[in-house]
Amino acid sequence: MKKNVVCSGIVGCLVLFFLLAGAGPVFAGGVSLQEQQDVAELKALVQQLLKQNQALSKRVSELEKRPAVSEEKNARVAGEKAAEEGAKKPMFSFEGALRAGFTADSNEEGSDFGMAAVELLLSAQVNKWVSGQAVFLYENPPFADDSNVFIEDAFIKLGNLETFPFYAQAGVFFVPYGALLTHFPDDPLVDVPVSLSFGEMEEHAFLVGFEKGGFAASAYCFNGDVEDDDGDDHVEDFGFDVNYTFSDEGRGFDFMVGGSYVSNVADTDGLSDIFGDEIKDKEGGIALYSEITFGRFFILGEYMTALDEIESRDGSVQGEPSVWNVEAGFNYDGFIRPFELVFKYAGSDDDAERLGFFEDRYGLALNIDLFENTGIGMGYFHDEYDPKYTGDNNRDVFFSQVEFSF
């Protein structure tokens, strides 16, 4: 309405102006000086009215734009408020994997199929600073007498690495002793890699960590199951892990190196089965690991060792064991399906051999991406033992596994 009024005023002023402007020359000769002065004043008044109408038109236009700006601002505020309210609501996600496999093992003098694992991961993000997860696992690998259903991991994590580099977590989880690196199908289908058999540790623990710019460090404490002569049943075991990762996507180069320490290496899942729940003294252990990827090629290595001799309470088992695992290979996606070929060498020292570990292991594996989120791995490895320690000269294992994840 205001806009129409402004336009009508402008049109009227223009008509009056042109009538007066055109009449001036016609009647100039027949009018008095006073009348000519009046016409000049009217022309000046019209010019003033035109300017006022232009200013008024501009003001009206600005007022008409204001509601749109206000609506945009209100929409933005409403969106931010909705995002904040959404962040306050817990967010849940599910992930999982199924692995079915076949194994032919000379030690078992036979072959068998099995459902190696059914894994379900439940994650919850309570807010931007608090999260948690639990892993439910079913295992019935080849040659297993019984199936097992249990919770493998369950912990609460405090932190937000996107805004703050420190975090803390508490619960049941695998503490970071070594990296357990491998490109082979691993436990429970087959006991690969040897670093997993030697150093895997699942504990009720508390951990604090730091991650920034490719650098990661963590320290943890727990009350282990393997005790020494002191007989104290307290949270007195501890460990830490430090690693650095560098990646250059343009060149296809990735590099990772790290090291770990644990105050009681006899508390690992593998060594505790050998030494039992009681030892004379707790001894520390270290792990060193690295992996390099350049284009289609990769190589990885890991070394684990006790820092001093471990001895069971009755003295029947003792040793300062060390193990190592090395793998190298390449991947290629220009064939019918993308695949990866992996070569392995692993071994242990004399003390580890006395505890039942193999002396040398040679292996080969082929991993193929069949479909999206679906793959198959197959391979073979040969173990050599020192007869004076185990009585077994060698072991041959063929294996294959189909896995899909969701």
Domain boundary among 37, 55, 84: 84
pTM recorded for the entire structure: 0.78
Contact of 312 with 343, CB cutoff 8 Å: no
285 and 163 together in one domain:
yes
Residue scoring higher pLDDT (81 or 13): 81
Average pLDDT of the chain, as a whole number? 87
Q: How many domains does the chain have?
A: 2
Give the whole-angstrom CA distance, residue 398 versus residue 102.
8
158 and 76 together in one domain:
no
379-393: pLDDT as tens digits:
999 999 988 887 767
What secondary structure does DSSP assign to 103-162, as a single string?
Answer: EEETTTTEEEEEEEEEEEEEEEEEETTEEEEEEEEEEE-TT-SS-EEEEEEEEEEE--TT
pLDDT category of residue 66 using cuts at 50, 70 and 90: low
Q: Is residue 120 part of a domain?
A: no
Domain boundary among 84, 99, 124: 84
Mean pLDDT of the region 134-153: 94
Contact of 140 with 128, CB cutoff 8 Å: no
Q: Is residue 101 part of a domain?
A: no
Structure confidence at residue 13 (pLDDT): 46
Give the whole-angstrom CA distance, residue 331 versus residue 298.
9
Give the whole-angstrom CA distance, residue 194 versus residue 358.
9
Q: Is residue 196 part of a domain?
A: yes
Residue ranges making up the domain that contains 301: 154-405
Helix (H) or strand (E) segment spanning residue 92: strand 91-105
287 and 399 together in one domain:
yes
Q: Is residue 135 part of a domain?
A: no
Cα angle vertex 154, ends 302, 287, to 5°? 15
What secondary structure does DSSP assign to 292-310, as a single string?
Answer: EEETTEEEEEEEEEESS-E
219 and 74 together in one domain:
no
Greatest alpha-carbon pair distance for the chain in Å reads 141
Structure confidence at residue 291 (pLDDT): 98
pLDDT category of residue 39 using cuts at 50, 70 and 90: low
226-247: pLDDT as tens digits:
998 877 789 999 999 999 999 9
Structure confidence at residue 2 (pLDDT): 45
Residue 188 has pLDDT above 80, yes or no: yes
Q: Is residue 108 part of a domain?
A: no
Residue found by looking up tokens 């309470």 in the block: 313
Could you say which DSSP state residue 400 is in?
A: E
35 and 169 together in one domain:
no
75 and 169 together in one domain:
no
35 and 178 together in one domain:
no
Report the DSSP pairing between strands 297-306 and 310-311.
unpaired
Helix (H) or strand (E) segment spanning residue 128: none
Phi, psi angles (nearest 5°) of residue 48 = -65, -40
CATH number at residue 171: 2.40.160.10
66 and 211 together in one domain:
no
Q: Is residue 125 part of a domain?
A: no
Residue found by looking up tokens 């003792």 in the block: 318
Residue 265 has pLDDT above 60, yes or no: yes
Residue 22 has pLDDT above 50, yes or no: no
79 and 213 together in one domain:
no
Domain boundary among 52, 84, 116: 84
59 and 170 together in one domain:
no
Structure confidence at residue 286 (pLDDT): 98
80 and 162 together in one domain:
no
Give the whole-angstrom CA distance, residue 246 versus residue 387.
44
Local structure of 358: helix, strand or coil: coil
Residue 70 has pLDDT above 70, yes or no: no
Give the whole-angstrom CA distance, residue 122 versus residue 102.
28
Token pair for 139: 């295992």
Q: Is residue 265 part of a domain?
A: yes
Contact of 165 with 211, CB cutoff 8 Å: yes
214 and 73 together in one domain:
no
- Encode burial over 275-286: b for 16+ CB neighbours within 10 A, e otherwise: bbeebbebbbbb
Residue 349 has pLDDT above 80, yes or no: yes
Q: Is residue 141 part of a domain?
A: no
Residue 261 has pLDDT above 60, yes or no: yes
Is the preceding omega at residue 141 within 30 degrees of 0, hence cis? no
- Lowest pLDDT segment from 71-85, 170-184, 366-380: 71-85
395-404: pLDDT as tens digits:
999 999 999 9
Other C-beta atoms within 10 Å of 338: how many? Answer: 14
